[in-house]
Structure 1
Amino acid sequence: MAKTIVIVTCLVAFIVAVLVADVVAQTPTPSPCTTTPPPDLQQNCAGAYLGFNPSAQCCSVLKREERCLCTYASNPDYAIFVNSDTSKRIAAKCNITLTC
């Protein structure tokens, strides 16, 4: 009886370990930052640059790209947008701190 409990416990532990390993293996790794913002960032936040409050979709894309914003700022073609007062206002409304 005790031997059966030990075997079942080991089997359950093994199954749990396999399931956890599978979940970890499926966790997507973030793509590397490029110096060019993705088109959906520009599309979803266009209204915010015109003075409207950022949409939920705009904030969602900004949060997804948050770790790359300073990389975009290093590109002279986009630095003016990332470092602008408008961008800081949009970021603040989306609860993102620009620290570039």
Structure 2
Amino acid sequence: MSSKVSLLVSVALFLLLAHAPTPSVSVTCSPTELSPCLNAILYGSAPSGQCCGKLREQQPCLCQYARNPSYSGFVHSNNARKVSGTCGVPMPNC
């Protein structure tokens, strides 16, 4: 009997932990973090793995960059769309 109770408790704990909210990670929005993507965005070269990693990391900031007149041209460029597609990061709909 105790093994059944132990199993039920284990399953219940597993289910509780599996559905627990994950802590959110704070991202510092800094366009300079996307410098590994500069050649790909400016010249259409293939994005590096580092570029894709930084793009994923900065994804929550892309709308902020798109609204900034200094960066909006880069965010909305054809090459930026290609980079985001290659990296598997959807372009924001802001």
State the TM bucket, normalised to the shorter chain: 0.5 to 0.7
CA-to-aligned-CA distance 1:29-85 (integer Å, 9 cap, x gap) = 433564x52x2312x112212431000000000001112111110111100110111
Structure 1 counterpart of 2:53, from 54, 60, 68: 60
Work out the number of aligned pairs and report it. 92
Three-state SS of the structure 2 residue aligned to 1:87 is: helix
Q: What is the match of residue 80 of structure 2?
A: 87
Structure 1, unpaired ranges of 5+: 1-19
State the TM-score, normalized to the length of structure 2.
0.65
Once superposed, what is the RMSD of the aligned Cα atoms?
A: 3.2
Structure 1 counterpart of 2:25, from 27, 30, 34: 30
Instruction: Report runs of 4+ in structure 1 exceeding 2 Å deviation.
Output: 27-34
Structure 2, unpaired ranges of 5+: 1-16
Task: Please identify the structure whose Cα radius of gyration is greater.
Answer: 1
State the TM-score, normalized to the length of structure 1.
0.62
Residues 83, 33 of structure 1: alpha-carbon distance in 2 compared, 3 angstrom cutoff: farther
Q: Percent identity?
A: 37
